[in-house]
Structure formats: structure tokens, C-alpha cells
Copies of this chain bind each other. A is one copy, B any other.
Amino acid sequence: MIAVDRESPETLQKQIRRQIAIGIVNRLYALNRPLPSIRQLSRELGVSVTTVSLAYDWLRLDGFVEVRKGAGFFVNPAVLPAAGEALDPELTGGVDAPEEELDYTAFFRGRSFNLPRVVKPADCLARYRYPFVCGVIDPSLFPIDHWRECVRDSMNRFELENWATDYSSVDDEMLVEQIIQRVLAKRGIVARPDQVLVTVGGQQARHLALRLLVSAGETLGVEDPGYRDVVNMARIEGIAVERLPIDGAGLMLSEDIDRCRCLFVTPSHQFPTTVTMPPERKLALLERTHCNRQFVIEDDYEADISFNRTPPAALKSLDGWGNVVYTGSLSQSLLPGLRIGYLVAHSEFIREARALRHHFVRHPAVNNQKSVALFMQRGYFDRFVAGITAVYQERCATMHRALERHFPGASAPPEYGGGSIWLRLPEGADAGVLAERVEAEGVYFETGGFTFSDERRNRNHIRLGYSAIDQSLIAEGIDKIAAALADAGAA
């Protein structure tokens, strides 16, 4: 019933301990019979007596087993007290014990929220030699010592006492200040602390903005191609979606936009094409939405990672009327796992967003707010961002050269910056088939078809990230994609 894996990074002692504990919890051992003895397990598993003995010591300390003198180890029934009570036939006899089980599959039919979305493969970096994955930071670039220093300094007793503060009503003061100084200022946005809300990543910023600005039955405009998760989110919230065409300068100011209550746009760095909207069109967009009395949600993803010394201003920085709600996150410029994003808008709006956040999740993790604040205040964030930006710029150039060799004119290097290139494969190519084909060769990329309203006619698009792949492997990986595509064409 117990097996050990000598290749595992987990010690043998821990493996044994864990498996016995799980067995106990799952009632695989009888209460009135001894558990396998130390000697027996040691022999069966080919593991030293000391190792098994240590495992049992831990199990005893943890309350899973008890020792009966001369009889060996037994399950400690106290570890499962409630279940014991539950199984009392006197009581369970009262229930009309149903044969049937509630059919959740039927319940969710037609109302499922399990919509198509990007699922990054588990252990992506370990599994693929050419991980053209998006939104994942190369761990070798991360200043882990600086990060540890900040985490350590945020964990003293004094700070712990501060954790008693109600973080539903206030965000970490230093973090808000740092976001204002080091992130928003560079986007041309001058914000006060009461105009900023810290969120559980950029996704929550987008969700709160959508819920506050658009009611069920109203229409949200989304770029086509655009961010699929926002289309899904609208569907989940009962909001209609109007897809809006883009050109090489981002969202086109067509009549389609006039029908929407609110627009979701990525003006500085369009998702997924990476094109940048020129300032003139930004101003025209603001004027038009002002005339229409519409709201705009600006998603400024990857804003910190700009290849220009003077990146184009955010739409929000030009917003005189106040109808733009700005969302962003530190997921691309720090670590996505920390889940730190932000909303910037009118203070009235922020007050409502805070109330909504309270009822959905209360607040983002306090310790991460504190550690990130220190990381920014000490200048580590700026240095890290400058470092990865330089690296990405080089990788981006390498990738674009490799792409031009195989697919001339089919991609444009992102003018703004960021971590990915958008590629249009020849007509008729199917990115999904291609992805499966190159997987065996260790290549991973994101297919782009589902960012379009008409997925079927746009299967020939892919999104190639360069944030996680080693510079020296980029050309090789692109060669493999091109070769697989040529093979498919020949077949």
C-alpha cells in the first residue's frame, strides 16, 4: 500500500509519513489492528529501520498514530473524531440514505462557466526546451536575494501587529505610494492615494471595473482580436459583447463603438497584436466616448516593460472628463504568483470598487502588499524592470530576425515593448495542429485563433512569448516551428 520513489526530491522518511497519514485519513487502516511495524515496512520498502522509525515519530507527534505498549502503532481515533460520529448507525439511520447522487453535470449544462481560456502547461519551463510561453518570467533574471530581503523585513513582530488592521478598508499605504510614484507616474498618470485600489492581480481589476460600470443586458465593446478572458467575463456577468475591429493603430473609431455602454481597450499595446494607438487617435477616442457618455476600461498590461525611453502616454493620462478606468498589474514586471494589480479611477469609483472587493475576496494578501512595497521603495523594482526590459528587447530583436527569415512580413516587433510577438502564419495554416506537432520537439506557444470573434477563419495566428526562453534558443525554436509548418504543407 506504501511505495517510495528514490528519484523524488522528498526524503524517504517524509514520503512514508505522508502516505501513512493519507491512509489513516481515508480510513484504509482498521482502528483495532496495529499498523505495519517498523521492521515490516523497513523490509518491504528496502528502507532503513531508522527512517521508518522517524516517520512514525512524526506521525505520533502530529497526532495521527498512538503507541500501545507491546502491541505497536495504532490509528489515533481522535484524528477522525467527527467522522466517527457521522458513521454512528443510530444517527445515519435517520437519513433516507439516497441511492442517487445529485447530478452536477446536468445542473451546469447550459450554464457552465468553463469557457475556453489559455491554460499554461504545468511545469512549463522544465517541460519545454523552447517555452514561447507568455506572461512567465525567466526565474534566472529574478533578483531573489533582494526579494528575500524584503520578505524578511516585512515579517517582523511589529509588522505582524499591523496585520490586525482591516485591509478591506485600506490598502498598504506604502504600496499605494510606490505604485503612484514608480508605475503610474511613468504612464503620465498623476493619482492621489484615494484614486488607487490594490487588487488580486489585473484580472480582479478588470472584473471589478466591469461589474461597476456595466449592468447585465448592457453592451461591452471588445477589440477583435482582443482579450478573450474579458469576453468570457462579460458572458458570465450577463453582459452583451460587441466586437470592434482594429487596424495597425489599434481600435478603429467605427460606428460600432457608439452602440456600447463601455469599451474595453488596450490602447498603448494592443492585446494580442501589440500595435500602439497614436496619441491623435487616443484623443479622438476620448472625445467620442465623452460625446457618447460612455465608459472606457483601459487595460495597460505590461506597461512597465517599454522599449522606448519615452513610451506613449496612457489613455488615462489624457482623460479630462473622468470616464476612463485604468487597470494594470505587477504580474509581468514582477511575479504573477503574487497577485498584485491595481485600479486607478475617480475616488467615488474607487470607494465602490473597494466595497465590491470586500464582498468578493476582502483584499489581496497583506504580506505580499508589504513585501512588494519594500521591494519598490528600495529601488529593486526599477532596477529589475530596467534589467528585464533590456533582456527582452534583445530577445525580441532576435526573435523578429528569426521570424523574418521564415515568414517575411508576417509579424511586427512590438513598438511599445512587452514580452511577446504576434505572428500571422500563411492562410490555411492551423496553429492548433502546429502546436501539437511541435510539442514533441519541446516547443510551446499560444494559439491565437480564439482571440478573434471568428475563430474558424483565424486559426493561422500565434502568440510567441520571449520572456521565459533563453536568448540562445530562440532562433532554433523558430526554425522548428517553420520546419513543422513546411512539413505539414508538404504532407
Chain A interface (Cβ < 8 Å from any Cβ of B): 9, 14, 18, 21-22, 25-27, 58, 61-63, 78-86, 91-92, 94-98, 100-102, 104-105, 107-108, 111-115, 117, 119-126, 133, 136-137, 139, 142, 144, 147-148, 151-152, 155-158, 160-170, 177, 180-181, 185-190, 200-201, 203-204, 207, 212, 215-216, 229, 232-233, 236, 238, 279-280, 283-284, 286-287, 290, 309-314, 317-318, 320-323, 335-339, 346, 348-349, 351-352, 355-356, 358-368, 377, 379, 382, 468
Contacts and interface: CB of A to CB of B under 8 A. Distances in A.
Given A190-B26, A290-B96, A359-B229, A126 B314 contact: no
Contact of A359 (B207, B358, B367): B207
B351 A366 contact: no
Given A112-B352, A144-B160, A181 B21 contact: yes
Nearest to A315: B86
B362 A365 contact: no
7 contacts: A78-B309, A82-B311, A120-B169, A204-B360, A204-B361, A207-B359, A339-B365
Q: How many copies make up the complex?
A: 2
A338 B314 contact: no
Contacts of A105: 348
A55 B190 CA distance: 23
A341 B390 CA distance: 39
Contacts of A27: 190
Interface centre among A165, A337, A351, A355, by most chain B C-beta atoms within 10 angstroms, is A337
Nearest to A136: B164
B61 A379 contact: yes
Contact of A362 (B104, B164, B201, B362): B201
Nearest to A369: B337
A150 B355 CA distance: 33
A102 B82 CA distance: 57
Contact of A85 (B82, B117, B312, B356): B312
B352 A164 contact: no
Contact of A339 (B177, B310, B362): B362
Given A126-B161, A320-B98, A108 B352 contact: yes
A83 B94 CA distance: 71
B120 A166 contact: yes
Contacts of A364: 200, 339, 365
Given A94-B283, A95-B320, 14 more contacts: A25-B190, A81-B186, A82-B317, A85-B188, A86-B313, A92-B318, A102-B321, A137-B164, A144-B157, A164-B468, A200-B200, A207-B360, A229-B359, A360-B361
Contacts of A82: 186-189, 310-314, 317
Nearest to A90: B279
A78 B285 CA distance: 26
Given A356-B113, A382-B62, A365 B346 contact: no
B339 A97 contact: no
A366 B120 CA distance: 15
Nearest to A207: B360
Nearest to A361: B200
Contacts of A85: 188, 279, 310, 312-313
A133 B165 CA distance: 11
Interface centre among A102, A201, A338, by most chain B C-beta atoms within 10 angstroms, is A102
A85 to B, nearest CB: 5
B337 A114 contact: no
Given A97-B320, A321-B101, A84 B310 contact: yes
Contact of A365 (B147, B236, B368): B368
